[in-house]
Structure 1
Amino acid sequence: MRLHVADHPLVAHKLTILRDERTDSPTFRRLVDELVTLLAYEATRDVQVEPHEVRTPVTTTTGVRMTSPRPLVVPILRAGLGMLDGMTRLLPTAEVGFLGLQRDEKTFQAVTYANRLPEDLTGRHVFLLDPMLATGGTLVAAIDYVFARGAREVTAVCLLAAPEGLRVVDDAVGDRVDVQVVVAAVDERLNEKAYIVPGLGDAGDRLYGVV
């Protein structure tokens, strides 16, 4: 597994406001959108491209374009939905799938409750969106799910990660270079309820309210 922590003052600034318990939902949603666009820039650094010839108003030149098949962006419901616009702003030609995974609050294990993904992901670069990498169980389940369908590479984009969760993901995927995790910050630890400390609370609730 490759880990990339986005070390940028704008990332740290926006993350600080997200952590503040006084930040209301509309502001929280806007900042998540902005922060994910910054993370997406880092997450797409290794996206595959191929040479492509174009004619400018002056002459002909060779640039690049993304290869086929197109990348697939997969927000993990429900909190991952708040990251979708920020990611697709940078990847407007990507397709979008949805995966519903939620943590059992007693066992802390991931349970699948919804799936809107193509059956065949052969050769696809899949971007998984989940704000909080806490215990790691949800992300491991999602990674296994898309690799089982033929994905070529997986990049997880998260706002925060806990060291415990990163270890779980690293133990699950080992030295695979086709798995990358991009985060804004790695926090201190998990508490007894498996929440990230200092964290920012429940991302889904802060995005959409308590349901």
Structure 2
Amino acid sequence: MSDTSPAVHLVSHPLVQHKLTLMRQKDRSTNSFRRLLGEISMLMAYEVTRDMPTQLIDIETPLEAMKSPVIDGKKTVFVSIMRAGAGFLDGMLNVVPGARIGHIGLYRDPKTLVAVEYYFKMPQDMHERDAIVLDPMLATGNSAVAAVDRLKETRPRSIRFVCLLAAPEGLKNMQAAHPDVPIYTAAIDRELNDHGYIVPGLGDAGDRLFGTK
């Protein structure tokens, strides 16, 4: 993993890049796309949780007693930006099965490209929890900024943002609004097109994930 700026982490692991290449292919089936997204999210979870705090507990091996580190998964909240964020959840939960889950429902106005909220549900006591926001595409960044704006109202202990693809425009927008939130992505693509899609990209992640187009 390498840093392109203090707050942007590019997950360059060969397995992640290989699976992303397969996902980009336009003739990839919905089933295959969904499976690959789950696999990539599991691999990215290792990077995102690399510095997750641990605590020592007393255990007994077959040979002796010892103190050994564990993470407190219950203090982690995966925040899924609906609907495509759901594709990230399964893989992340395979790595941190004890995590809580929050949902933010946003849709992008097709004319203004502004994010409009329609659903928001978080676990209680967010001030004790570390939030990891999940959305495959950081395009304009408007949805991500709106989601983190709303999430900050709950005062979580920390916030990280995880996406599969990012556009330079989205990164700039997100970093200007939330410079304190690190961004993890598998690729930074060239630009946005006139319709706000990342190019070369992989199309609409939600449609490809759920087979709705």
Calculate the TM-score normalised by the size of structure 1.
Answer: 0.94
1:34 is matched with 39
Calculate the TM-score normalised by the size of structure 2.
Answer: 0.93
With 50-59 and 113-122 compared, the bigger mean Cα shift is at 113-122
Equivalent residue in structure 1 for 2:157, among 148, 152, 163? 152
- Return 5+ residue gaps in structure 2 as ranges: 1-5
2:3 is matched with none
**Do structure 1's residue 14 and structure 2's residue 16 form an aligned pair?**
no
Would you say how many aligned residue pairs link Structure 1 and Structure 2? 208
% identity of equivalent residues:
45
Change (3 A) 1:204 1:161: same
Change (3 A) 1:25 1:68: closer
Q: 8 Å contact 2:38–2:91 — kept in the other structure?
A: yes
> Could you say what secondary structure the match of 1:97 adopts?
strand
Change (3 A) 1:130 1:68: closer
**Do structure 1's residue 171 and structure 2's residue 203 form an aligned pair?**
no
Equivalent residue in structure 1 for 2:200, among 193, 198, 201? 198
Q: Equivalent residues in 2 for 1:57-76 (5 A)?
A: 57-67=62-72, 70-76=75-81
What is the one-letter code of the residue matched to 2:190? E
Measure, in 1, the Cα distance between the counterparts of 2:128 and 2:145. Answer: 20
Q: 8 Å contact 1:72–1:97 — kept in the other structure?
A: yes
> Could you say what secondary structure the match of 1:21 adopts?
coil
With 142-151 and 111-120 compared, the bigger mean Cα shift is at 111-120
Deviations 1:23-54 (A, max 9, x none): 01000000000011011110111212122221
Structure with the bigger RCO (C-alpha within 8 Å, sep 6+) is 1
User: Any runs of at least 4 consecutive aligned residues in structure 1 with deviations exceeding 3 A, and if so which?
Assistant: none
Cα root mean square deviation, aligned: 1.4
Measure, in 2, the Cα distance between the counterparts of 1:172 and 1:123. Answer: 23
Deviations 1:111-164 (A, max 9, x none): 111122135411210111100000111111111212210111111111100011
Equivalent residue in structure 1 for 2:141, among 136, 143, 158? 136
